[in-house]
């Protein structure tokens, strides 16, 4: 359930500010809301250090082993600066190394000529000019000049023009001899390579400091939180104050502390639900659904619903229908048990979620007779005794199964969406708006019967129209009912009512995706099985080929099934169901100020 909150304002003297913050942090109950924007040089400096530490951690990667030194905040930050400096120096040295390699390549092409050699030649009245030209330009070379081909590659010629005059040149771009000679280049190249190796070795050695850097990061984050709360407090002369939200059942602990320390405080009901953090408390067995909510990053608003139970119940059913194979369920369950045994210190919630989903899948696959897509397994006496004919994957009357499954998914949709409106109605039970939610339940079931008629040609019962029209009337009158403003609420509702009713029909029909995707998965695995063993396996090569096809085919199908669960199984809960429940998922997480 979503825990009720109280708004709390605490007043302390300026002199007692830091002491009060330490005691509130030790209590660890109050979710702080900044009174003013927390801006200060201290906060900026901490944020800068956090960014630097994050970058350093990213540079050194996942280092292992014990740190080379015991943790000291100052030394840890010096390590951060050293890592950043080395990371900045490395690309510069790498760039220099590339330039030196290019210069060395120049010498390998032209020879170990130096600028001093040119000076010596000029003193003797001989001038040397170097050029690189395309081979197709060779015809442009003057016949009356002394031009020597020094080297060539696939498309270019390396030429040397030898003259007795400084003014004689070719009409090509001239190559100039590097300032550093060959021997100097070799020395610089070796020095750069050694320097680069030293940097890499030092960065590798600093990987061992990863745990110290993570400790520094956590400490900086703690200081950031402290400084943000401190700088976000309101100031009134010699008094400072902070605002926050506290769970109702923990309020007494805060007020007792305030009275003991002589602080002033005001307790009130929250005036803006959008600012109130959401704290959800649930039974330990329901926490298994938290990994999905964490994966999606969704939090219900303070005035919304905790749908953990309904999400888990229907998601398990959706998972079973979408994946559809009891063999896969056995595989998932065995792997979950194995990894749970291997990683005993890992969080248990993901494993329990897999246990539940796998169990649901095994049950569904058993009653549909689907075991890795092999019909021969489904026909075995024990397995066939578990099958329900109306939903059997390998039924002789495929048309009947298809019709029943489509109708069954419409029924799931109607039940799912009705639960959303019933929960919404219970929340508004003291208002006439609850009648509007009752009207929506009628419309949903009317759309269920309409979908059966339009899609499956099932006759609508006589009362279906009463559900539709009676529900529409209740919605129009009470969905946006405002006490003393009946006609205003009626006008607000009627404008969007036709589209909303049509949308509810689409929502009911959208549950058809459960059957369609589940059937597609069954077709894929049956097709791969037929491809593997349909022609018989009468020699070793065919046996190996069949095994490889089966492994590849079922691996691919499992991946596709997992994608469909994410796309469709989660969507039906987060969009269709939540939409009829009126949820926006705009909540913020309850994060108390604590050590």
pLDDT of residue 255: 93
pLDDT of residue 98: 93
pLDDT digit string, tens, across residues 412-441: 999 999 999 999 999 888 888 899 999 999
Question: Whose CA is closest to 164, among 127, 128, 129, 119?
Answer: 127
Q: Count Cβ neighbours within 10 Å for each residue of 277-315 and write b for 16 or more, e otherwise.
A: bbbbeeeeebbbbbbbbeeeeebbbbbbbbbbebbbbbb
- Calculate the CA 497 to chain-centre distance: 36
For 126-148, give the DSSP string. -EEEEEEEEGGGGGGS-TTSEEE
Task: Answer for the pair 324, 357: CB distance below 8 angstroms, yes or no.
Answer: no
Please list the residues that pair with 267 across neighbouring strands. 8
Q: Read off the DSSP letter of residue 348.
A: S
Q: Read off the DSSP letter of residue 174.
A: E
**Cβ count within 10 A of residue 557:** 24
pLDDT < 50 stretches in the chain: none
Kindly tell me the burial class for residue 443, based on how many C-beta atoms sit within 10 Å of its own C-beta (0-12, 13-18, 19 or more). buried
Residues found in the chain: 595
Residue 169's alpha-carbon distances to 110, 123, 223, in angstroms, are 18, 18, 70
Enclosing H/E stretch for 32: strand 31-33
Question: Whose CA is closest to 413, among 511, 313, 335?
Answer: 511
Task: Answer for the pair 137, 215: CB distance below 8 angstroms, yes or no.
Answer: no
pLDDT of residue 337: 95
Please list the residues that pair with 243 across neighbouring strands. 9, 33
Bridge pairing between strands 127-134 and 174-175: antiparallel
**SS3 per-residue string spanning 23-60:** HHHHHCCCEEECCCCCCCHHHHHHHHHHHHHHHHHHHH
Using DSSP, state whether 300 is helix, strand or coil. coil
Residue 22's alpha-carbon distances to 6, 141, 263, 284, 429, in angstroms, are 21, 86, 14, 31, 44
For 206-218, give the DSSP string. HGGGHHHHHHHHH
pLDDT of residue 392: 93
pLDDT digit string, tens, across residues 7-54: 999 999 999 999 999 999 999 999 999 888 888 898 999 999 999 999
pLDDT of residue 39: 83
- Calculate the CA 157 to chain-centre distance: 55
Q: What is the dihedral of CA 330, 335, 341, 343, to 10 degrees?
A: -150
Cα–Cα dist 388/362, whole Å = 14
pLDDT of residue 306: 92
3-state helix, strand, coil in the chain (%, to 5): 65, 10, 25
Q: Enter the tokens of residue 158.
A: 């390396």
**Cβ count within 10 A of residue 431:** 15
Task: Answer for the pair 18, 261: CB distance below 8 angstroms, yes or no.
Answer: no
Is the pTM of the predicted complex or chain greater than 0.75? yes
pLDDT of residue 430: 85
């Amino acid at each position: 359930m979503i825990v009720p909150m109280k708004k709390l304002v605490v007043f302390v003297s300026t002199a007692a500010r830091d002491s009060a913050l330490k005691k509130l942090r030790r209590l660890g109950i109050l979710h702080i809301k900044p009174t003013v924007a927390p801006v200060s040089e201290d906060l900026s400096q901490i944020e800068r250090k956090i960014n630097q530490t994050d970058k350093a951690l990213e540079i050194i990667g996942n280092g292992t082993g014990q740190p080379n030194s015991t943790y000291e905040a100052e030394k840890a930050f010096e390590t951060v600066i050293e890592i950043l400096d080395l990371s900045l120096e490395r690309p510069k040295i790498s760039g220099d190394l590339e330039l030196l390699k290019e210069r060395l390549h120049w010498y390998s092409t032209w020879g170990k000529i130096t600028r001093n050699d040119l000076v010596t030649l000029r003193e003797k009245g001989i001038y040397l000019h170097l050029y690189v030209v395309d081979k197709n330009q060779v015809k442009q070379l003057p016949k009356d000049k002394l031009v020597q081909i020094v080297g060539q590659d696939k498309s270019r010629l390396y030429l040397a023009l030898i003259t007795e005059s400084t003014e004689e040149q070719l009409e090509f771009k001239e190559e100039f001899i590097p300032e550093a000679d060959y021997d100097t280049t070799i020395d610089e190249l070796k020095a750069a390579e050694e320097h680069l190796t030293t940097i890499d070795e030092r960065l590798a050695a600093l990987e061992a400091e990863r745990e110290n850097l993570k400790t520094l990061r956590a400490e900086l984050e703690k200081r950031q939180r402290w400084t943000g709360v401190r700088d976000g407090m309101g100031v009134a002369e010699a008094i400072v104050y902070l605002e926050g939200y506290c769970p109702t059942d923990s309020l007494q602990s805060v007020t007792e502390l305030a009275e003991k320390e002589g602080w002033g405080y005001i307790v009130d009901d929250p005036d803006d639900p959008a600012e109130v953090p959401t704290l959800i408390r649930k039974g330990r067995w329901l926490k298994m659904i938290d990994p999905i909510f964490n994966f999606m990053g969704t939090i219900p608003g303070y005035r919304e619903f905790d749908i953990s139970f309904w999400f888990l119940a229907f998601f398990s059913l959706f998972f079973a229908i979408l994946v559809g194979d009891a063999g896969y369920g056995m595989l998932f369950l065995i792997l979950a048990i194995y990894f749970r045994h291997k990683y005993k210190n890992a969080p248990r919630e993901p494993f329990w979620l897999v246990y539940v989903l796998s169990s649901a899948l095994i049950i569904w696959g058993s009653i549909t007779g689907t075991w890795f897509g092999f019909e021969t397994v489904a026909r075995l006496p024990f397995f066939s005794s578990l099958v329900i004919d109306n939903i059997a994957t390998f039924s002789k009357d495929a048309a009947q199964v298809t019709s029943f499954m489509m109708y069954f998914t419409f029924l799931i949709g109607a039940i799912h969406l009705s639960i959303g409106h019933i929960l919404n109605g219970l929340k508004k039970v003291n208002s006439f708006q609850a009648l509007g939610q009752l009207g929506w339940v009628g419309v949903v079931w009317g759309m269920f019967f309409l979908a059966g008629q339009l899609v499956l040609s099932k006759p609508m019962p006589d009362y279906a129209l009463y559900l539709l029209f009676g529900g529409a009337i209740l919605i129009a009158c009470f969905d946006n009912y405002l006490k003393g403003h009946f006609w205003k609420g009626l006008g607000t509702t009627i404008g969007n009512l036709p589209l909303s009713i049509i949308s509810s029909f689409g929502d009911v029909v959208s549950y058809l995706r459960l059957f369609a995707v589940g059937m597609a998965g069954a077709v894929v695995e049956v097709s791969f099985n037929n491809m593997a063993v349909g022609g018989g396996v009468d020699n070793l090569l065919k046996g190996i080929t069949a095994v490889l096809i089966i492994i590849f085919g079922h691996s691919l199908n499992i991946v596709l099934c997992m994608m469909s669960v994410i796309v469709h199984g989660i969507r039906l809960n987060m969009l269709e169901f939540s939409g009829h429940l009126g949820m926006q998922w705009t909540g913020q997480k309850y994060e108390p100020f604590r050590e």
